[in-house]
Structure 1
Amino acid sequence: MRDLQAGDQAMTFPLDKDMGLSQTGMKIDVGGKPVYVAFSLARAESVVTATGGRWIADVHGGRFNGDAREAPILYEIPRPIRRLELDRPLMLGDLEIRNLAVRVSDMGNSQGIPDGAAPDQDLDEIVVTGDSKRKVPTQRLYIGLDTIGHCASLTHDFKAGTVTLMCPKQPSAAATG
């Protein structure tokens, strides 16, 4: 992707075999639920399926920011997406996932993600929700160049079962906010 520079560090993640034969990546835990992650050198922003976006919004204090727009997804077919703004960063190891968009109508349901500015939260409020009994489809997150474009390399080692990013060291999320 670029030449190695002083300060680049390796971030190695285990490959997850549950993604299927056509994709390689890893799995992150979002509030006890799995979201499968793959890197995309073909898109600028990161995109997550609708239900995965709702899970991320629930755990990281997320809300939609801006109107729906169309973006090419699988096989370059345009699908509606919306930008998801988070109060707490979504991290993959030491890598902060930036510019996250949600596929608002595919692979599940994004209902329940708040819209607009963050509301003042009533700390005494209790919200109870329930999940349906149907099986939730596999949720996927494709990390785009806005997150990994500054990195030197992305290497898959299928024998070792790992993927390694060589990127400049980022300040920790705790140090930045």
Structure 2
Amino acid sequence: MLRWLTTAALLAAAGGAAKQGELVIAPDGMRPSSIAGVPARLRVDPAAPGMPVLNPALAARAGLKPGPFAASYAVGPVTIAGRTAVARIDLGAGPIKRRVTWTARTYSDTADAVVGPGGLPDPVIRFQLRAPRPGERVVALPIAKAGGLFGGWGLTFAALTVDGEPMRVRFDPRRPTTATAGAGVALARAQGGALEGSPTTTDIAWGVQRPVRTLRLERPLIVGPIRLDRLLVRVSDYGGTSSIADAAAPPPDPDEVVVTAKGKRDRSRDVLTIGRDQLDRCSSLTFDKRARQVRLSCA
């Protein structure tokens, strides 16, 4: 469900000083923090898991010892094994005990650790991406229900209906707009569209590169003030894109392996990431846990 806000709510969401219970995150996302008493450069990132993810160097400096619970992250066919521990973490409001995770791979080259909005105690987290612009509109999307063993420790998704089914949406101001293969199929079926151009690669997470192609939509997907007509599609992650029309119909790539699952497709793996090419038009991105909404204010 997509919901427009009233004029009063729009003005309240458009920017300005933080309100009670609201944490405002600066455009660079950086917050003063420490892990187990060790100072750390931590970035609050709307595309990051709720469980704080530490680079291995920080975990070593903090002397963390892995506990009995392991974490595992899948980026297409690449599985990244992680360790977890309970540590005292200070995000600027005093130390609290929190489970953290780290892997052998470095998650971020610009921060020692990252955390998503689901891992913060504040009920409202507003990412102030840039100064508000005249003519901005605000749209509210429902927060998708968390699932899995760690529940809210995972990514915080919004929910959008595409092709009559719910699709999970996440927001990443540092990477381009991208869809998993299954999400690309659903978007092409609902909006019409074709793949164009040669396959390239793009960074997804933990430095993992995956093959993508450009999907051009005949009818743009409208998400409030956002008009999405082109995006990258991961051609062989969580399904395949063979059912999408090809604008140039090139010969198949002999190195590309497309797996087609039998039976009903698991649409819970369909994810649309709205990236920097769209969020550059937005002044703020707000995760309101009390209202269970994600709000975008964009020109």
TM-score range (shorter-chain normalised) is: 0.7 to 0.9
Equivalent residues, number:
155
Q: Check if 1:81 corresponds to 2:212.
A: yes
**CA deviation vs aligned residue, 1:111-141 (integer Å, no higher than 9, x gap):** 11111169xxxxxxxxxxxx94244252111
Residue pair 1:46, 1:98 contacting (<8 A) in 2 also: no
User: 2:220 and 2:197 mapped to 1: Cα distance?
Assistant: 19
By how many angstroms is 1:25 displaced? 2.3
From 24, 37, 43, the counterpart of 2:156? 24
Q: Secondary structure at the match of 1:110?
A: coil
Q: Show CA shifts across 1:57-89 (max 9, x none).
A: 112111111010011113220000000011100
Q: Distance in 1 between matches of 2:262 and 2:160?
A: 22
TM-score, length of structure 1 as denominator length: 0.79
Q: Which residue of 183, 193, 201 maps to 1:52?
A: 183
Which of 260, 263, 285 is equivalent to 1:133?
A: 263
Larger Rg: 2
Tell whether the 8 Å contact from 1:98 to 1:147 is kept in structure 2 after alignment: no
Give the TM-score normalised by structure 2: 0.48
Structure 2 CA distance for aligned equivalents of residues 28 and 56 of structure 1? 11
Please, what is the CA RMSD of the aligned residues? 2.0
Q: Distance in 2 between matches of 1:30 and 1:165?
A: 19
Aligned residue in 1 for 2:132: 4
Q: Which amino acid aligns with 2:182?
A: T
CA distance in 1, matches of 2:218, 2:294: 28
Conserved? CA contact 2:137–2:224, under 8 Å:
no
The corresponding residue for 2:172 is 40
- Of all paired residues, the percent bearing the same amino acid is 34
Counterpart for residue 141 of structure 2: 13
Return 5+ residue gaps in structure 2 as ranges: 1-128, 250-260
Partner of 1:56, secondary structure, is helix
Q: CA deviation at 1:51?
A: 1.2
Q: Where do 4+ consecutive residues of structure 1 move more than 4 Å? A: none
> Following superposition of structure 1 onto structure 2, how do residues 24-173 of structure 1 map, counting pairs within 5 Å?
24-43=156-175, 45-116=176-247, 132-136=262-266, 137-168=268-299
5+ residue gaps, structure 1:
119-130, 169-177
Structure with more of its chain in strand, by fraction:
2
Shift of 1:158: 1.2
Q: 2:158·2:168 contact (CA, 8 Å) conserved in 1?
A: yes
Q: Which moved more, 1:70-79 or 1:92-101?
A: 92-101
Maintained 8 Å contact 1:91/1:97: yes
* 2:104 counterpart residue number: none
* Letter of the structure 1 residue corresponding to residue 223 of structure 2: L
Distance 1:42 1:98, change over 3 A: farther
Cα deviation for residue 98 of structure 1 reads 4.6
